[in-house]
Structure 1
Amino acid sequence: MKTKLYVLLFFFGMIMLPQNTYAQVDFNKRPDDDLGNVEDTFQEYFFEALKQKGIENYQKSADALLKCIDIDDSDPVLYYELGKNYMQLKNFGAAEVAFKKAVSKAPKNEWYLDELYGVYIQQNDTNKALKTVKQLVEYHPDYKQDLASLYIQLEKYREALKILDEMDFKFGYSEDRDYLRNQIYNLTGNNEDRIENLEERVNSNPEDESNYLLLIYRYSETGETLKAFDAAKRLLVFNPDSQLVHLALYKFYLDENDITNAIKSMKVVLTSPVIKPEAKTKVLNDFVKFVSKNPHYESDLIEITSLISEDKSVKTLVELGDYYLKSNDKSKALGYYEEALKQEPNTFKIIRDVLLLQIDLNKDAEAVTKSEEALEIFPSQPILYLINGVANNKIKQPEKAIESLEIGLDFLVENPKMQADFYTQLSESYKQLNNISQSQTFAKKAQALLKDQ
C-alpha cells in the first residue's frame, strides 16, 4: 500500500511541485524529512490537501497543509501550496506570510518569489512589489519590464526610462515597451525626449519605415509641421516605395498649396492596398473640402473619386453629395446620397436629403414610393408625410395627398413654418378636387401663419 502511495506522490509531485523540489527526492530510501516518503499521517494530510485543492475546496486544502506543517515544516513546498490556497481564498495577508516563509527556506526559488510578487500586485503594495521584482530580475530579464512599470507607478521616471533603454538596446524595440515609454512622456510632458528617442531610432535604422511614421506623427502633434514634412521627405529618400508616408505628405502639400504633388500623394493613398479604408475616407474628405473652396480642381476630384468607385464609405458619399449640392449640381448630389442610402438604408438624414432632391428634380413617383417606405421606419416624422403629400399632389393624386398631410399634422409640434407648408399642400389638394372653399380656407391658414413669422 505504501509503495503505491509513494508512486502516486511521485506523479503528483511532477505535476504540482516546482522542478527544483521534486528533482531532489530519493525514492529508494525512507527519510523522515522529505515529502516523498514520510509517515502515514503526514501522507494522508498531504494527499487530502491535494484532493481538496483539485475540487477547489481551498480552505480544507489549507487546513490539511497546516496539519502537515505541524508534523514537519522543513519543506518550503508546504508553504508554497498553502500560499496558493490563500490566494484563491483572497486572503492576501495569510498568502503573503506563507510565501515569505517559503522564500525564507528557499531564497533562490523563482516560483516562490513570483507568487509573493503576485500577492503585492493584488494588494497594490508597489514598494514591496518593487523589492521582490528586483530579486526576480536576477533569474529572468523579462521581469525588467515589470520593474519599469513599477518605477512609473512610483513616479521614478528616469529609472524606468533607463531600464527601457537597456532592454531596447539588448532585445530591440517592442510595442509593450513603447507603450510604457510613451506613458512616461505623456505623464511628464517631455516631448523633447520623446522626439529625441525617435530621431535616434531613425538614425540608427534609416530603412525602418515605422520609426519615420512615428516621428512624423509626433512632430505634427506638437505643431512642428516643417520638421514633420522634413521627416516625411527623408523617409521617401530611404524608401521611395513607401505608401503610408503619403498619408502625411498630401496634407503638407495641400497646406503649401502644392496641388500637383498633393494630388499625386492622394492617388497613392487611394489606390494603396496597405492603407485602411477609413484613412482613405479622410483623405478624400479633405480633398472634397479643398475643392469646395477651389472649384477649378473639380476635374481632379472626379478623377480621384473614380479611383475608389467601388470602395467609398458612407461618410465619403455624403461629403461628395454635400459638395455637389453646394455647387447646385443636384443630380450628382442625389446620386451620391442614393449610394450612401444603399449602405445605410435606415439613416434618417440621408433619407430626407434623397427625398427632398427627388422632389426638386421632379422624380415624384420615386419620392412617393421612397417616402412610403421611410414612413414604415419613421412613422412619427412629419417631414416625411409632407414630402409624401407634395409628391402625390405633383402626380395628381390629391386624395392620397390629403390622407398623408392630415396624419402628418397630428405629429407636428410647434413648427409654424412647416405647418404653413402642410396647409399650402392641403390647399393644392382640394383645388385639384375642385373644392375651392376648402382650398381657400387652407390657403388663408397658411398665409396667417407666414404673416406671423
Structure 2
Amino acid sequence: MKKVISLLIMLVLLCNSALLWGQTEPEEIKLEDNKFKEYFFEALKQKAIENHDKAITALERCLKLDSNNATIYHELGKNYLALKEYKNAYSSFEKANSIDPKNKWFLIGMYDVDYETKDYIDAIKVINKLIPFDPKFKEDLTSLYMNTAEFDKALLLINELNETVGKSERRENYKLQILSQGTYQDAEITNLINQINQYPKEESNYISLIYLYSKKDNLEKVLETVRKLEKEIPNSEWAQVSLFKDYLVNKESQKAIKAMNTVLASTKIDSKIKHRIFNEFLIYVNTNPQLETDLDKAIAYFDEDKNVNVAKEVGKYYHNKKQWDKAIKYYLMALKKTGEADVEISLLLIDVYSQLEQFDKIAPIANEMIELYPVQPQFYYFAGLAYNQLREFKKAKEILEMGMDYVVEDVSLEIGYNIQLGEAYNGLGDNNKKEFYFSKANELLKKQK
C-alpha cells in the first residue's frame, strides 16, 4: 500500500507543470487489472530516474493490456523524446491525439518534436491546432513564420498581436527585419495609416510611418505625417526632429533653434539623431554667423557624451575651412571639457597657431605636453620651431637635440628636426653645424623621393 501511495505522489508531481496550462495532463487511467497498474507505475518510476528504455518497456506491456489508451501513448512519446528518438516520439504523440483530439498536451508533444527537429512546416500545422486551446500560441506561430520566411503572414500576425495584446520587443525586431525588405513596406504603410486613423494619439505609429517614408525618399509624405503628428500631439519631441530641417530650409531660424533644443534635451531620442541635427545646424550657422551663440549653447547638451567631444569636432569643421579664430575658440572649449591636456587637440591648436604665425602661443603648449608626454617627439619639434621663430636659438637647439632621440621610423619628422637644428645653429653662428644638419636633411629628402 505504501508503494502505491508513493507512486501516486510521484505521478502528481510529474503532472504538476500541466496545471499551469489550465488543462491537466492525463492522470486517471481505468486500470483493468493489477498488472496494468503495476506496469504503469513502474514506467513512471523509471522515467523519473531517467531510465527511459525501461519505462518504454513497461509502457509497451501496458499497451498489450489496453491498446487504445491515449495516456500510455503520451507517456511513450515523452520517453522517446528524452532519448531523442524523434520519429517514435512523434508517432506516439500523434496516436494519442488521434484517440483523444480534445487534449492539448498530445499536440504539445508533437510540437515539441517538430521544434527540436526544426521541422517548422509541420510545427505550423500543429500550432494552428493548438491556438483554439490557447491563443498564446500565436506568439510561437510568429516565430515559425519567420523561420519559414513566410514574412507576409508573419507581418499580418505581428500587427494583429500588437493591436490585441500590445507590442513586444521580439515582435518589433521581427518587424524591422521584415521591413528591411522593400517588398513589405507598402503593406506596412497601409497598416500604419489605418492605425493612425484609429488611434491618432499613439505616437509610435507616426514615427514608424515617418521612417518608412524616409526610406522611400518621399519627403512630401514625411512632412505630411509630421504635420499630422504635430497637430495631434503638439508636444511630441519626435515631431521636432523632422520639422527642424523644414525650418532650416525655410530660414525660420528661431523655430529651428527651438526644435533643435527640444531634440537635444530629449531623453527619448537617439544620440545619433542628435548629432545629425547639431551638424546640420553647424552648417547653417556658417552662413548665418549671428547664430553662433545658439551653437555654443547647443554644445552644452553634449557635455555628458563620453564618445564624442563635440566642441573639438566643431573646431575641426572651422579648421578645415581655414577659419582660424573660430577653430581656436572651439579647441579651447574642447580642452576645457576634457579638464586636462589632450594630444590631438593640442596638435590641432599648434597647427592653427602656426598658420597664424603666433609662435609665442605654440611654445607653452608644446612645453606643457612635453611634461605630460616626454616621449612624444612632435612636441619637441614644435617647441624648437617656435623658439627658432622667436629667435631663442639656444632653447631651440637644446629641446630639438633632446627630442631627436625619440624620433623612430618617421622620415618626414626627422627631416623637420634637421632643418630646425640647422636654423638653430645658424642663429647661434655655428656654420659647420648648420651645414651638417642642412645637408643631412637634403640626404633624407633625396631618399624619400
| Band the TM-score falls in, shorter-chain normalisation | 0.7 to 0.9
Write out per-residue CA displacement over residues 276-299 of structure 1, whole angstroms, 9 at most, x where no aligned residue: 544433322221233235444323
Give yes or no for the alignment of 1:335 onto 2:325. no
1:82·1:95 contact (CA, 8 Å) conserved in 2?
yes
Separation in structure 1 between the aligned mates of residue 98 and residue 138 of structure 2, nearest angstrom: 23
**What is aligned with 1:70?**
60
Give yes or no for the alignment of 1:287 onto 2:285. no
Aligned ranges 1:254-273 → 2 under 5 Å? 254-273=248-267
Separation in structure 2 between the aligned mates of residue 341 and residue 411 of structure 1, nearest angstrom: 31
2:226·2:239 contact (CA, 8 Å) conserved in 1?
yes
1:246·1:269 contact (CA, 8 Å) conserved in 2?
yes
1:292·1:323 contact (CA, 8 Å) conserved in 2?
no
Residue aligned with 2:365, SS: helix
What is the one-letter code of the residue matched to 2:421? L
Alignment TM-score, normalising by the size of structure 1: 0.79
**What is aligned with 1:404?**
403
Write out per-residue CA displacement over residues 36-75 of structure 1, whole angstroms, 9 at most, x where no aligned residue: xx22x654453132123xxxxxxxx221211212321355
RMSD, aligned CA: 3.7
**What is aligned with 1:57?**
none
Alignment TM-score, normalising by the size of structure 2: 0.79
Write out per-residue CA displacement over residues 150-176 of structure 1, whole angstroms, 9 at most, x where no aligned residue: 445545555445544544554455554
**What is aligned with 2:33?**
32
**What is aligned with 2:437?**
442
What is the one-letter code of the residue matched to 1:7? I
The change in CA–CA distance for 1:90 and 1:365 in structure 2 (over 3 A counts) is: farther
Once the two structures are TM-superposed, the CA of residue 222 in structure 1 deviates from its matched residue by 1.0
The change in CA–CA distance for 1:256 and 1:434 in structure 2 (over 3 A counts) is: same
**What is aligned with 2:44?**
46
Separation in structure 1 between the aligned mates of residue 164 and residue 444 of structure 2, nearest angstrom: 79
What is the one-letter code of the residue matched to 1:217? Y
What is the one-letter code of the residue matched to 1:439? K
Separation in structure 2 between the aligned mates of residue 4 and residue 447 of structure 1, nearest angstrom: 104
Give yes or no for the alignment of 1:10 onto 2:5. no
Separation in structure 1 between the aligned mates of residue 374 and residue 106 of structure 2, nearest angstrom: 68
The change in CA–CA distance for 1:89 and 1:411 in structure 2 (over 3 A counts) is: farther
Write out per-residue CA displacement over residues 253-297 of structure 1, whole angstroms, 9 at most, x where no aligned residue: 224443332122112222334445444333222212332354443
Residue aligned with 2:186, SS: helix
Once the two structures are TM-superposed, the CA of residue 223 in structure 1 deviates from its matched residue by 0.6
Separation in structure 2 between the aligned mates of residue 407 and residue 101 of structure 1, nearest angstrom: 82
> How many residues matched?
427
The change in CA–CA distance for 1:8 and 1:279 in structure 2 (over 3 A counts) is: farther
The change in CA–CA distance for 1:364 and 1:66 in structure 2 (over 3 A counts) is: same
Which of the residues 365, 381, 384 maps onto 1:386? 381
1:216·1:231 contact (CA, 8 Å) conserved in 2?
yes
1:385·1:407 contact (CA, 8 Å) conserved in 2?
no
**What is aligned with 1:100?**
94
2:97·2:107 contact (CA, 8 Å) conserved in 1?
yes
1:355·1:371 contact (CA, 8 Å) conserved in 2?
no
What is the one-letter code of the residue matched to 2:210? I
Write out per-residue CA displacement over residues 209-260 of structure 1, whole angstroms, 9 at most, x where no aligned residue: 1111112222122111122112112211112111222122112322444333
1:62·1:86 contact (CA, 8 Å) conserved in 2?
yes
Write out per-residue CA displacement over residues 90-145 of structure 1, whole angstroms, 9 at most, x where no aligned residue: 44344334433443444333233223213223323232112111111121112224
Separation in structure 2 between the aligned mates of residue 125 and residue 436 of structure 1, nearest angstrom: 88
Which of the residues 415, 418, 421 maps onto 1:420? 415
Separation in structure 2 between the aligned mates of residue 30 and residue 234 of structure 1, nearest angstrom: 70
Separation in structure 2 between the aligned mates of residue 352 and residue 149 of structure 1, nearest angstrom: 54
Which of the residues 192, 208, 224 maps onto 1:214? 208
What is the one-letter code of the residue matched to 1:370? M
Residue aligned with 2:400, SS: helix
Aligned ranges 1:163-178 → 2 under 5 Å? 163-172=157-166, 174-178=168-172
Write out per-residue CA displacement over residues 319-368 of structure 1, whole angstroms, 9 at most, x where no aligned residue: 222134332114313214424655996xx644643554577562423322
What is the one-letter code of the residue matched to 1:62? H
The percentage of counterpart residues that share the same residue type is 28
2:315·2:328 contact (CA, 8 Å) conserved in 1?
no
Write out per-residue CA displacement over residues 404-448 of structure 1, whole angstroms, 9 at most, x where no aligned residue: 12431x3215x4xx4431212222444566644212321244356
Residue aligned with 1:117, SS: helix
What is the one-letter code of the residue matched to 2:10? F
Residue aligned with 2:335, SS: helix
The change in CA–CA distance for 1:276 and 1:375 in structure 2 (over 3 A counts) is: farther
Higher deviation after alignment, 119-128 or 363-372: 363-372
1:281·1:312 contact (CA, 8 Å) conserved in 2?
no
Give yes or no for the alignment of 1:135 onto 2:132. no
1:244·1:269 contact (CA, 8 Å) conserved in 2?
yes
**What is aligned with 2:363?**
364
Separation in structure 1 between the aligned mates of residue 384 and residue 84 of structure 2, nearest angstrom: 69
1:389·1:401 contact (CA, 8 Å) conserved in 2?
yes
What is the one-letter code of the residue matched to 1:286? E
Write out per-residue CA displacement over residues 17-54 of structure 1, whole angstroms, 9 at most, x where no aligned residue: 2455667538xx9753898xx22x654453132123xx
Separation in structure 1 between the aligned mates of residue 374 and residue 108 of structure 2, nearest angstrom: 64
Give yes or no for the alignment of 1:109 onto 2:109. no
Aligned ranges 1:54-65 → 2 under 5 Å? 61-65=51-55
What is the one-letter code of the residue matched to 1:366? I
Residue aligned with 2:124, SS: helix
The change in CA–CA distance for 1:419 and 1:85 in structure 2 (over 3 A counts) is: farther
The change in CA–CA distance for 1:405 and 1:138 in structure 2 (over 3 A counts) is: same
Which blocks of at least 5 consecutive residues in structure 2 are unaligned? none
What is the one-letter code of the residue matched to 1:130? I
The change in CA–CA distance for 1:412 and 1:178 in structure 2 (over 3 A counts) is: closer
**What is aligned with 1:56?**
none
2:26·2:71 contact (CA, 8 Å) conserved in 1?
no
1:212·1:231 contact (CA, 8 Å) conserved in 2?
yes
Separation in structure 2 between the aligned mates of residue 82 and residue 350 of structure 1, nearest angstrom: 73
Separation in structure 2 between the aligned mates of residue 343 and residue 69 of structure 1, nearest angstrom: 77
